Structure 1
Amino acid sequence: MIESFSLENKYLKQIFQNIQDGIIIMNQERMILMINPSAERLTGWKLQGKVPYCSFCVNRRRHEKENKCYLIQNDEVPYFLSEMPTYHGKKIDVEMSTALMFQDTMNNEKEYLLVLRDQSVKIKEDEARISKMMIKKLIEAQETEHKRLAQELHDGVGQSLFTISVALQAIESYIYDERLNAYIEEVRQELEKAMNDIKSYAYELRPQSLDQLGIVAAIQSLINSVKRNNENITFLFETNTEDRCNPTVSINLYRVVQEAIYNCIKYAEAATISIILHESLDGLSLTIADDGIGFNVKSPKNEGLGLKHMSERIYQIGGEFSLESQQTIGTKIFITIPDWKEVVQ
């Protein structure tokens, strides 16, 4: 029995010394009778010092005979959020709880257990979560607007220009003046260029192949389009999947591939760009590699918005994003997405 009690005390002491929450034993005058290392690190308070009043207690209204300390007034408080002054002069957000540990009815003396939990980490986590949610909503709104504009350019402006082109062709058949016909032909050629530009802008905003045929067809179409203006670069595309991604995954993956290709063309001086899209039991993986000049990943000047946007898009769809690069060897982007398939209703 004595050994069991000794062992119990040993474990209780270990818990008291090593637990992450701050633990304090104080009397009804708020004098600190015991304090563990976590509480000391958090507050800077010491033994025999007094626990200061939190912001709530300083500002709250109370009855004349009511204790200024809300925690002592109520003896047992499961949890309570407030700002607590520290020894260093600043205030910290903490979750506090109290329990009456000892009461001497003869002398009316009480001792309380005060537990402090730092809320600054939780607040930062909440802020990060809200920030990520806002970014996700902004990306979704942006893609929705891109889709609307692409549709408007294709079905609205594009069709109107095509109608004008057909009308010019009809007018041309009734005119026998060679100089006027030559002028109309020039106008039709300029109109053809404008129609091609409109088609290109609509594709950049939202490729129709992505919605109609899926991510594989969209990537292949993107590669074919980029090839036409970059004949010196060899593109390799390999995939083993025919399944459709869910729409959110599709558009975000497509944007990452698009951004990566344009970065390679603009900065990497690469001769070969390879894209591998594979599905496995672990999910969908995407690898984008080039044999360009590479860069120092750790250098602050290389922390461009493009890379941040790519990684943020992948994190928003529950994926993992990593990048490797060595100067003169090239750059590789690795992406994995566990939950990616389109759910068929």
Structure 2
Amino acid sequence: MLVLEEEQLKNKYLKQIFQYIQDGIIIMNHNREILMMNPSAKRLTGWKMGERVPYCSFCEKRKKSPGEQTCYLIERNEVPYFLSKMPTYHGSKIDVEMSTALIYTDSKTKEQEFLLVLRDQTLQLREEEARVSKFIIKKLIEAKEEEHKRLAQELHDGVGQSLFTISVALQAVEAYVKEHEKLHIYIEEVRNELEKVMNDIKSYSYQLRPHSLDQLGITPTLSTLVDSVQKVHSEISISLDADFRERCHPSVEINIYRVVQEALHNIVKYAKASKVIIRLEKKEEYLTLYIEDNGIGFNLQEVKKVGLGLKHMEERITLLGGSFNIISAHSQGTKIKISVPNWKDDYQ
């Protein structure tokens, strides 16, 4: 009695597995006629009971020896599974992982029945495509930042130094032409214009890649950024609170800097805020950044459709394996919270 109950319980579980497993399960005979199939197989392929299982794209095209089975898995039963494309009822082909097994042979007729298991690979392929796309974007951003670094160095050390040399030479010329008032005034105007160009070059160099980021780290560089914005926009009170001086991985430093830079740009341009709070905190394995303003806010869904700034900010943090959260509503300001894991990994 106990054995019978155990057998009934086992059959019950097997039926449940057959009904609810996500893999497609098909029982077919030697003519590939479908004898039984579970709901997942119907959903995946659209085939019906009694129909013949079509050959996959690999078996249709492969070269066969005389008398050899068309189905590679049945012919080479030592192969556990392989990936191919399988035709569905509406004519399209889906990527599947297939495996077969001989499960029954009639002792009299020698007819055989096979188990065919289909696992949909579409989602995995999409995930792989997303992973490759993410990797490419990461490398493009890294290449862009390296180019910014090179250009910033070139502007600072090359063009900047050359202009400084010219400025010194003009000062020397000025000393000799003081008695020529018109010439002296003209040279002074040229020198003033040259100083303006030098300041512009310095500003462009800093915007491309702050030297302090590589030399001192994220906290001093953010402090300099906040000060520079504050000088130009004195109507906005910007406070920065960073509770550590440790160095981060270079990728973390540049991406955190770019996010704060973009956020301040948006606040100055659109938010009409009078107060901005920026906090950078080290929490166990996470580096957390908070940016909050008391501006006019915005409809997040509308901005996401048309604004590239927020998308690029989120993209940078996602590539670091972090999380990017933003809360905003009309007349309620905006709050951004960013968490980055493993922020110190591989830093030399």
- The TM-score with structure 2 as length reference comes to 0.96
Q: By how many angstroms is 1:302 displaced?
A: 4.5
Structure 1: distance between partners of 2:347 and 2:182: 60
Which amino acid in 1 is paired with 2:193?
E
Structure 1: distance between partners of 2:342 and 2:65: 57
Aligned ranges for residues 277-292 of structure 1 at < 5 Å?
Answer: 277-292=280-295
Cα shift readout 1:203-225 (whole Å, capped 9, x = no counterpart): 00011111111111111100111
Q: By how many angstroms is 1:342 displaced?
A: 6.0
Hey, what does 1:142 align to over in structure 2?
Answer: 144
Cα shift readout 1:244-298 (whole Å, capped 9, x = no counterpart): 1111100000000000100111111111111011112241100111111111112
Structure 1: distance between partners of 2:303 and 2:91: 35
Aligned 8 A contact 1:325 1:331 in 2? yes
Q: By how many angstroms is 1:319 displaced?
A: 1.0
Q: Which runs of 5+ in 1 are unaligned?
A: none
Hey, what does 2:91 align to over in structure 1?
Answer: 89
Q: Displaced runs of 4+ in structure 1, greater than 6 A?
A: none
Cα pair distance change 1:300/1:105, threshold 3 Å: farther
Q: By how many angstroms is 1:87 displaced?
A: 1.2
Aligned 8 A contact 2:304 2:310 in 1? no
Name the SS of the counterpart of 1:51 in structure 2: coil
Does residue 216 of structure 2 align to residue 213 of structure 1?
Answer: yes
- The TM-score with structure 1 as length reference comes to 0.97
Residue in structure 2 matching 1:230, options 215, 218, 233: 233
Which amino acid in 2 is paired with 1:90?
S
Hey, what does 1:254 align to over in structure 2?
Answer: 257
Residue in structure 1 matching 2:106, options 104, 116, 134: 104
Cα shift readout 1:39-94 (whole Å, capped 9, x = no counterpart): 11000111111111111122222123112222332245311111111112211111
Residue in structure 2 matching 1:29, options 27, 31, 39: 31
Cα pair distance change 1:96/1:344, threshold 3 Å: closer
Aligned 8 A contact 1:25 1:34 in 2? yes
Hey, what does 1:177 align to over in structure 2?
Answer: 180
Aligned 8 A contact 1:162 1:195 in 2? yes
Does residue 326 of structure 2 align to residue 323 of structure 1?
Answer: yes
Does residue 240 of structure 2 align to residue 265 of structure 1?
Answer: no
Q: By how many angstroms is 1:145 displaced?
A: 0.6
Higher mean Cα deviation, 60-69 or 190-199? Answer: 60-69
Q: By how many angstroms is 1:343 displaced?
A: 5.1
Residue in structure 1 matching 2:118, options 116, 119, 127: 116
Structure 2: distance between partners of 1:59 and 1:300: 50
Which amino acid in 1 is paired with 2:323?
E
Residue in structure 2 matching 1:242, options 245, 265, 283: 245
Which amino acid in 2 is paired with 1:248?
S
Name the SS of the counterpart of 1:173 in structure 2: helix
Aligned ranges for residues 50-89 of structure 1 at < 5 Å?
Answer: 50-89=52-91
Structure 1: distance between partners of 2:6 and 2:278: 64
Aligned 8 A contact 1:82 1:95 in 2? yes
Which amino acid in 2 is paired with 1:149?
L
Aligned 8 A contact 1:76 1:98 in 2? no
Residue in structure 2 matching 1:197, options 185, 200, 209: 200
Name the SS of the counterpart of 1:8 in structure 2: helix
Structure 1: distance between partners of 2:253 and 2:306: 25
Structure 1: distance between partners of 2:161 and 2:67: 82
Question: Root-mean-square deviation (CA), in Å?
Answer: 1.4
Name the SS of the counterpart of 1:334 in structure 2: strand
Identity, % of aligned positions: 61
Hey, what does 2:21 align to over in structure 1?
Answer: 19
Q: By how many angstroms is 1:104 displaced?
A: 2.4
Q: By how many angstroms is 1:95 displaced?
A: 0.8
Higher mean Cα deviation, 58-67 or 35-44? Answer: 58-67
Q: By how many angstroms is 1:341 displaced?
A: 2.1
Structure 1: distance between partners of 2:112 and 2:304: 61
Which amino acid in 2 is paired with 1:113?
L
Q: In the comparison of the two structures, how many residue pairs are matched?
A: 345
Q: By how many angstroms is 1:303 displaced?
A: 4.2
